[in-house]
Structure 1
């Protein structure tokens, strides 16, 4: 990828963005599950413990739903290491390509690259 403003480089980006958002959501929910577990061990109130337990169960269910969505879309392959390795390698290569881009080129004139609406 040499030119991030070239529309050709946007191919596949929606899928990459969706998988990144899903992974971020999955990791956030996983962190919440861990925090609910910590909170449960520190809570003395039976009412609060019951509430936290229900929240923990809901978070575990949500984690399962997100994982199932990611598996269905091929973004997560927990049972197939070789497939997950390919997904992770592609993500790493994309990150390196983005890091190597000239994000502030001297010439940003893109006139004529996009269709101009008729007036």
Structure 2
């Protein structure tokens, strides 16, 4: 029995997103140019240069999008880390929790704080590679 191949590889989807961003940027430039007054010298230049500018927008998006995705992942991880630290601190303040459990919670809090350093180190390693 042969394996079923996925319809789209992530590379094709990624390329499609880049194309959509580039085309959208080009369409915005043409719309901007068409909304300029008839005598404006930039109007004709924007319409003429729209295809080349579209390719530059696509290329810039290709370079920037991995960094933007990494930034959003980092922000989400920081939010989750802060949330878990706040919850642990609230549990540590609870007098009903035993000292053995509080010790485990303190260790988890320490691990959460250290995970920030580990994620930054992984990011630096990825850049250096």
Task: With the length of structure 2 as denominator, give the TM-score of the two structures.
Answer: 0.44
| Structure possessing the higher relative contact order (Cα contacts under 8 Å, 6 or more residues apart) | 1
Structure showing the higher helix proportion among its residues: 2
Larger radius of gyration: 2
